[in-house]
């Protein structure tokens, strides 16, 4: 059923499927079973079949999934078959690192504009992009039809940047700042905070290693 609402967990797995399918495709593998996918990605095969079945009948009983066809379908589902322009605010080390990942992103998705509030950063070159002042944010986002915003500024500035993004009409935000940002309900926010990741890892360490 096209119109039932899909859980976030399912959506988060789709890019992982896609990445491995692309790898298989590069290796000229033409067909893959949910079994194969599951063992490679550490997921239950039934879960993979169910995830995909939310969107259509992509497989063939007794055979599995056609790699190229499934890639095409997942790209459509994730809207990666459209051009998706991304803006980044915060031209520090992290921002620079992410800009360099442009190559890793799916062809149509690209960081196309970088902004910073600090005078010293403006005009700098970052992976072929020139760092722009915040005053140009709104116009640039509208002109380039930028739909996703990335925040890599310090925590104290993150909410301000989010507000600017929302005002400029961005539809989704990926926030790397270590703070929860508030946005209107129609805007999607993902938090990608490496400090909380690392701190939760500590929980799983063994008791006290050191004396």
Q: Tokens 């301000």 map to which residue? A: 160
Two structure tokens written together for 153:
């500024």
Torsion of CA 175, 132, 124, 105, to 10 degrees: 40
Q: Is 156 left (phi over 0), alpha (psi -120 to 50) or beta?
A: alpha
Q: Which does 27 bind (CB under 5 to 8 A by kind): DNA, a second copy, none?
A: none
Residue 59 C-beta: closest distance to a second copy, Å: 21
Q: Which does 146 bind (CB under 5 to 8 A by kind): DNA, a second copy, none?
A: none
Give the one residue of 71, 109, 112, 131 binding a second copy; rule: CB under 8 A: 109
Binding site for DNA (CB under 7 A): 7-10, 32-35, 43-47, 49-50, 52-53, 57-65
Q: What is the C-alpha to C-alpha distance for residues 178 and 44, in angstroms, rounded to an integer?
A: 32
Main-chain phi, psi angles of 133, to 5 degrees:
-75, 155
92 known member of a binding site? yes
90 known member of a binding site? yes
Q: Which does 63 bind (CB under 5 to 8 A by kind): DNA, a second copy, none?
A: DNA
| Alpha carbons within 13 A on the beta-carbon side of 62 | 0
* Cβ-proximal residues to 104 (8 Å cutoff; 6+ apart), any chain: none
Q: Which residues bind a second copy (CB under 8 A)?
A: 11-12, 14-16, 18-20, 40-42, 77-80, 82-84, 86, 92-94, 96-98, 100-101, 104-106, 109, 145, 147-148, 150, 171-172, 174, 178-180, 182, 188, 190, 192, 194-206, 208-210
């Amino acid at each position: 059923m096209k119109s039932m609402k899909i859980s976030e967990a399912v959506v988060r797995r789709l890019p992982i499927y896609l990445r491995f399918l692309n790898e298989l495709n590069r290796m000229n593998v033409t067909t893959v079973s949910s079994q194969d996918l599951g063992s490679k990605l550490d997921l239950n095969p039934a879960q993979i079949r169910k995830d995909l079945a939310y969107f259509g009948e992509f497989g063939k009983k007794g055979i599995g999934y056609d790699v190229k066809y499934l890639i095409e379908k997942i790209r459509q589902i994730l809207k990666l078959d459209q051009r998706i322009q991304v803006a980044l605010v915060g031209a520090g080390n992290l921002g620079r690192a992410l800009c360099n990942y442009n190559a890793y992103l799916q062809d149509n998705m690209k960081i196309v504009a970088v902004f910073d509030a600090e005078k010293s950063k403006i005009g700098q070159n970052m992976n072929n992009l020139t760092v722009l002042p915040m005053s140009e944010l709104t116009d640039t986002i509208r002109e380039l039809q930028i739909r996703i915003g990335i925040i890599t500024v310090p925590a104290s500035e993150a909410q301000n940047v989010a507000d600017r993004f929302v005002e400029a009409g961005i539809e989704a935000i990926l926030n790397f700042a270590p703070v929860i940002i508030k946005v209107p309900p129609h805007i999607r926010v993902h938090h990608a905070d490496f400090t909380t990741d690392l701190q939760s890892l500590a929980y799983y360490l063994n008791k006290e290693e050191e004396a």
